[in-house]
Structure 1
Amino acid sequence: MSFNYSPDAYDNKGQLRLPVTFWLVLLVQARTWVLFVMAGASRQQGASLLALFYPDSQAFWLGLGLGVPAALGLLLTGYRQRLPRLWQSWRYVLSISLFASALLQGWWWQDDDSFSPAVAGLMAVDLLAMGYLLGNRRLRDVFNPRLNGAE
């Protein structure tokens, strides 16, 4: 089911503009990559910054791996008309990645002896972002190639 949007909701190619909250979801999902870039920019304090957020190097590498779908999603936004089927399925890839991230955080939380509000908060943010990706009507229409001038 499509909705009629105002003319300023479309770009000059006739595609629905991506909501700002979608970009925030991608940043949340690629948070390890963002931290990695920040650490690389701060050469003197980069290692200590990474050690602060990721004392376990295995968690860092898993975070980088779980951020790959978001990084590829950033690249795919420019190819929505050229690769409509891939773009349409990418919403589910992002959702599965967010669910896997929340699951892994919950698993690490059980192994830890102490309750960590930061881990619980990140887990909640991942689940909210997944709910947004799957439930928001405008975002569903953005990922529908028939509503965006493709196919």
Structure 2
Amino acid sequence: MNPDDYNDHGMLRLPLWFWTILILQARTWLLFVMAGASRQQGSDLLALFYPDPRSFWSGILLGLPPAMIFLLSGRRHLFPRVWQAGYWLLLAGMFVTFALQALGLWQSTDMISGVDIVLALLDAAALAYWLLSRRLRACFDAARRLV
């Protein structure tokens, strides 16, 4: 690793794909914030993407760990144990999200939308990157400090 790969606290800089995965995993929260910002069309926007309220609440619940990790990422040097646990928490959340999507696609009696397929493929790619990226895994390892 190059010394430029480390931040001021001696920790590896997080890759761009990490942030992309967090956004993908917290998409329900982003939609919720956008719906709150557009007051008149907010409920219509939520109903468009989440016609079943149970899927909305499961998305909120599964999006909570990525949202918390996002908030913690700037202070990860202060909470190294929590940061390390975040890797496994996000991995478990990605498995559950992908499994729920696959189950929903498999049990779907209606015509499957292209958005559902694209989201399932993106979640599968995010899960593969999360499992295979040595750099990302090293970012969650407290022993990988420059200092």
TM-score (norm 1): 0.89
Structure 1 residue 89 corresponds to structure 2 residue 71? no
The number of equivalent residue pairs is 146
3-state SS of 2:118 partner: helix
Q: Tell which has more relative contact order, 1 or 2 (C-alpha 8 A, sep 6+).
A: 2
Paired amino acid for 1:126? D
Report the equivalent of 1:29: 25
Superposed CA RMSD in Å reads 1.5
Give the alignment of 1:1-150 within 5 angstroms.
4-5=1-2, 7-113=3-109, 114-148=111-145
How far is the alpha carbon of 1:8 from its aligned partner? 2.3
What is the percentage of aligned positions where both structures have the same residue? 45
Classify the secondary structure of the residue corresponding to 2:83.
helix
Q: Please, which runs of 5 or more residues in structure 1 have no aligned partner?
A: none
CA contact (8 A) 2:26 2:67 kept: yes
Take 1:97 and 1:149, find their aligned partners in 2: how far apart are those partners?
30
Code of the aligned partner of 1:25: I
The code of the aligned residue for 1:128 comes to: A
CA contact (8 A) 1:30 1:70 kept: yes
Give, in angstroms, the shift of residue 149 of structure 1. Answer: 5.7
SS at match of 1:82: coil
Question: Which runs of structure 1 show a deviation greater than 3 angstroms over 4 or more consecutive aligned residues?
Answer: none
Q: Give a deviation string over 1:50-96, Cα, whole Å, max 9, x none.
A: 11111111111110011011011112213322222221121111011
Give secondary structure in 2 for the equivalent of 1:145.
Answer: coil
